[in-house]
Amino acid sequence: MCMNELVSDIFFSKKLKILVNNPTIMKLYCDYYNLSSSQVNQLLGLDLDFNFGDSHINGFVNRLFFTPSSNFSEVLLSKFSGVNAKFINRNHCNIPFLSIPKCAPMTLEQAIEDRMAYFKKLAENKELLLLWSGGIDSTLAFYSLNDADISFIVFCDENSQKEYPFLYDKIAGNEFKNVKMINYDRQNLLKYISNPNYAFVTGELGDQTLGSMITMNFSFAERQMKLSEGIEKNIFLHVYNKQNSVNEDIPIFTQEIIDFCTEGVSEVIENYSLDDTTVSEFLWAENFVYKYAIVYFRLLSQNFIPCGPQTNVHHFYSSEKFQQYSLTHYKENCYFENLNNYKDSFKKMIFRHNKDRDYLKNKIKVPSLKDANFYRT
């Protein structure tokens, strides 16, 4: 990117103010555009040293992720993924919490145990608040925290109750000794967000760990097609037709998109090729490699800061070991016959805790975040 383009990119939106001092996000921005701190200082008239731990600017993340791309292939991929944002290949990202770790054997139990050690330590100095939607990802987070004997507050709303009334009633009935409940109130939320004695926990990145919700648009046979056959039969139009985003006569999942993604997905899928990789596996890899960073940061719009010195939110599935679990179990996680089998590994773990067979057998993944009051407002 030339300097003139960067100037336009930075100053195009009034949102690019100095919102929060955060060196981690600024470093990510500089790395993405291959900029030095002196170049950014020159543009902004600032005198900042862009190193971890120093005081910085946060608002650049809005331009880094949440603006349309001018790259045609990326525009098509954005429409296909339902995300109007830039994509970052995490294989080439040197930010520790975003980079993809080396593949290593890992079970779901081990990944959860590791994460519980993290949250136990965090809970020594902060009170935890779980943003619970009633969905599969945040429900597994709930039972894991409770099973680890960690005290925490459940932050929820009427949509949480609708999505999982069985657990909502138990929490409301004080059946968990270490768990309190707070029903959504905007002022309450702002109070806790700005209080450094509290830390929020989310179920974010659960989707990137287990697969891609886009696969739910396809039949089991289509999900298990080899990628070359799926492209030939143009099955990817299902997604576009559902979103009414393009003319159905235009073949959208083009060679340009395949080329755009190949470098990234080939590094996480064993023996990747169009003739060996299934549609479901490809969509997981695209989600895991390219969309992960977007999801990691998207709650910034609600003042949730996931990294740096002012961190106030911690994603349950954001860990090296959860990524290693994803890398070593993607084939089985991508192979599900019915929609109520999607995320079966998470649901089976939940069943171990609550013996709710109805949730295990019938719960279907829904986009919980967009219905959450804290996110909508």
The CA-based angle 71-72-73, given to 5 degrees, is 95
Secondary structure in 3-state letters for the chain: CCHHHHHHHHHCCCCCCCCCCCHHHHHHHHHHCCCCHHHHHHHHCCCCCCCCCCCCCCCHHHHHHCCCCCCHHHHHHHHHHCCCCCCCCHHHCCCCCCCCCCCCCCCHHHHHHHHHHHHHHHCCCCEEEEECCCCHHHHHHHHHHHHCCCCEEEEECHHHHHHCHHHHHHHHCCCCCCEEEEECCHHHHHHHHCCCCEEEEECCCHHHHHCCHHHHHCCHHHHCCEHHHHHHHCCCHHHHHHHCCCCCCCCCCCHHHHHHHHHHHCCCCCCCCCCCCEHHHHHHHHHHHHHHHHHHHHHHHHCCCCCCCCCCEEECCCCHHHHHHHHHHHHHHHCCCCHHHCCHHHHHHHHHHHCCHHHHHHCCCCCHHHHCHHHHC
Q: How far is CA 28 from CA 49, 77, 88, 338, in A?
A: 14, 22, 11, 39
Instruction: Report pLDDT for 120.
Output: 98
Residues in the chain: 377
Q: Which two tokens stand for residue 152?
A: 């925490």
d(CA 220, CA 228) in angstroms, rounded, equals: 16
Of the candidates 99, 16, 84, 93, the one whose C-alpha atom is nearest the C-alpha of residue 6 is 16
Is a pLDDT exceeding 60 seen at residue 332? yes
| More confident of the two residues 157 and 307 | 157
Low-confidence winner among 20-24, 209-213, 220-224 (lowest mean pLDDT): 20-24
Instruction: Report pLDDT for 2.
Output: 39
Per-residue pLDDT tens digits for 69-114: 556 566 666 666 656 566 677 887 767 778 899 999 999 999 999 9
Instruction: Report pLDDT for 32.
Output: 52
Percentage with pLDDT > 70 across the chain: 69
Instruction: Report pLDDT for 262.
Output: 87
Instruction: Report pLDDT for 28.
Output: 58
Residue 158 identity: E
Instruction: Report pLDDT for 147.
Output: 97
In this structure, what are the phi and psi dihedrals at residue 306, rounded to the nearest 5 degrees?
A: -90, 0
Per-residue pLDDT tens digits for 281-321: 998 998 999 889 888 888 877 888 887 777 899 999 999 99
Mean pLDDT of the chain: 78
- Segment 62-67 shows an average pLDDT of 45
Burial label, 167 (beta-carbon count in 10 A; 0-12, 13-18, 19+) = buried
* pTM as predicted: 0.80
Per-residue pLDDT tens digits for 16-43: 333 234 455 555 555 555 555 555 554 4
- Segment 250-273 shows an average pLDDT of 79
Per-residue pLDDT tens digits for 112-146: 999 999 999 999 999 999 999 999 999 999 999 99
Instruction: Report pLDDT for 240.
Output: 53
Q: Using CA of residue 345, residue 349, residue 354, residue 357, what is the dihedral sign? A: positive
d(CA 59, CA 314) in angstroms, rounded, equals: 19
